[in-house]
Structure 1
Amino acid sequence: MNARILTTATLAIAIAGVLPAKAADPQLLSLVMPDAKVLAGVNVDQAKTTPFGQYVLSQMQSQNLEMQKLEALTGFDPTRDVHELLVASNVANGATANDHTGLFLARGTFDSVKITAAATAGGGITESYKSVTIVEDPKGTHGVAFLDSTLAIAGDVANVKGAIDRQGRAYPMPASLAVLVNKWSSTQDAWAITAVPPSSLHPPATAPSVPGMNGAGAFQAIQSAAGGVKFGALVVVTAEAQADNADDATQMGNALKMLAMLAQMQAAKEPAAAALAQSLQVSTSDSTLNVSVSLPEDLLQQVVKPKGNVRRADRPVIRHM
Structure 2
Amino acid sequence: MRWCLFALLMMLPLIAASQSARVARWTILPLAHPDAKLLIGIDWRRVQDSPLGPLVLRQVGKGGHPLLGLLDSIENIDRILVSSPGGQTGRSPLLVVGEGRFSLPRIRAMAKADGAVSRRYNDVELLVPPNATPFDLHFALLDGQTILFGDGSSVKAAIDRWQRADSLSERNPLFFRAVTLSTTQEIWALVDQPAESLSSLGMAESDLAAQVEHLELGVSTTDTLNASLVVQAATAEAAAALGSGLPALLQLAALNYSQQPALTQVARRVKVATDKTTVKMAFTIDNKLLDQSLNELRAAAAPPLVTETAPMNAPRQARMAAVPGTPAALDVPDPSSQSVRKVVRIVGMEDGVKEIPYEARKPGQ
User: Retained in 1: the 8 A contact 2:197–2:204?
Assistant: no
**Matched residue, 1:46:** 46
User: Retained in 1: the 8 A contact 2:121–2:156?
Assistant: yes
Letter of the structure 1 residue corresponding to residue 43 of structure 2: N
User: Retained in 2: the 8 A contact 1:85–1:105?
Assistant: yes
1:178-230 Cα offsets, whole Å, 9 max, x none, are 232123212211111111134663465996xxxxxxxxx33331111110212
Letter of the structure 2 residue corresponding to residue 57 of structure 1: V
| Aligned equivalents of 2:302, 2:150: Cα separation in 1 | 32
1:41-91 Cα offsets, whole Å, 9 max, x none, are 01111222313421353255999xxx9xxxxxxxxx861221111111112
Letter of the structure 1 residue corresponding to residue 293 of structure 2: L
User: Retained in 2: the 8 A contact 1:6–1:137?
Assistant: no
User: Retained in 2: the 8 A contact 1:24–1:186?
Assistant: no
Do structure 1's residue 226 and structure 2's residue 229 form an aligned pair? no
Q: Tell me by how many angstroms 1:25 deviates.
A: 3.5
| Aligned equivalents of 2:111, 2:212: Cα separation in 1 | 41
Q: What is the aligned-residue identity percentage?
A: 24
1:280-321 Cα offsets, whole Å, 9 max, x none, are 1111222111111233221221243154657969xxxxxxxx
Do structure 1's residue 131 and structure 2's residue 123 form an aligned pair? yes
Higher RCO structure, 1 or 2 (CA under 8 Å, sep 6+) = 1
Do structure 1's residue 120 and structure 2's residue 112 form an aligned pair? yes
- State the SS of the aligned residue for 1:113: helix
Do structure 1's residue 305 and structure 2's residue 303 form an aligned pair? no
- State the SS of the aligned residue for 2:209: coil
Q: Find the structure with the greater CA-based Rg.
A: 2
Q: Tell me by how many angstroms 1:144 deviates.
A: 1.4
**Matched residue, 1:73:** none
Q: Tell me by how many angstroms 1:14 deviates.
A: 8.4
Q: Do the aligned partners of residues 14 and 257 (structure 1) sit closer, same or farther apart at CA in structure 2, a change above 3 Å counting?
A: farther
Do structure 1's residue 111 and structure 2's residue 109 form an aligned pair? no
User: Retained in 2: the 8 A contact 1:102–1:156?
Assistant: yes
| Aligned equivalents of 2:215, 2:205: Cα separation in 1 | 20
1:239-275 Cα offsets, whole Å, 9 max, x none, are 0011112222122011011122333445633423321
| Aligned equivalents of 2:274, 2:141: Cα separation in 1 | 44
Do structure 1's residue 197 and structure 2's residue 190 form an aligned pair? no
Letter of the structure 2 residue corresponding to residue 201 of structure 1: L
User: Retained in 2: the 8 A contact 1:6–1:119?
Assistant: no
For residue 178 of structure 1, the aligned residue among 175, 181, 184 is 175
| TM-score (norm: length of structure 1) | 0.76
Letter of the structure 1 residue corresponding to residue 125 of structure 2: T
| Aligned equivalents of 1:84, 1:276: Cα separation in 2 | 27
For residue 137 of structure 2, the aligned residue among 134, 139, 142 is 142
Q: Tell me by how many angstroms 1:117 deviates.
A: 2.2
Q: Do the aligned partners of residues 9 and 271 (structure 1) sit closer, same or farther apart at CA in structure 2, a change above 3 Å counting?
A: closer
Query: How many residues end up aligned between the 2 structures?
Result: 283
Q: Do the aligned partners of residues 265 and 60 (structure 1) sit closer, same or farther apart at CA in structure 2, a change above 3 Å counting?
A: closer
Q: Do the aligned partners of residues 89 and 273 (structure 1) sit closer, same or farther apart at CA in structure 2, a change above 3 Å counting?
A: same
For residue 276 of structure 1, the aligned residue among 263, 266, 271 is 266
User: Retained in 2: the 8 A contact 1:13–1:104?
Assistant: no
**Matched residue, 1:259:** 249
| TM-score (norm: length of structure 2) | 0.67
Please, what is the CA RMSD of the aligned residues?
3.4
Matches within 5 A, 1:61-76: none
Letter of the structure 2 residue corresponding to residue 190 of structure 1: I
| Aligned equivalents of 1:89, 1:233: Cα separation in 2 | 33
Matches within 5 A, 1:26-37: 26-37=26-37
1:149-180 Cα offsets, whole Å, 9 max, x none, are 11111111111110110021335153421232
| Aligned equivalents of 2:301, 2:187: Cα separation in 1 | 26
Q: Tell me by how many angstroms 1:121 deviates.
A: 2.9
| Aligned equivalents of 2:241, 2:264: Cα separation in 1 | 22
Letter of the structure 2 residue corresponding to residue 135 of structure 1: L
Letter of the structure 1 residue corresponding to residue 297 of structure 2: V
Letter of the structure 1 residue corresponding to residue 41 of structure 2: G
| Aligned equivalents of 1:264, 1:6: Cα separation in 2 | 34
Q: Tell me by how many angstroms 1:116 deviates.
A: 0.9
- State the SS of the aligned residue for 2:216: strand
| Aligned equivalents of 1:287, 1:121: Cα separation in 2 | 52
- State the SS of the aligned residue for 2:208: coil
Do structure 1's residue 11 and structure 2's residue 4 form an aligned pair? no
Q: Tell me by how many angstroms 1:5 deviates.
A: 6.5
**Matched residue, 2:318:** none
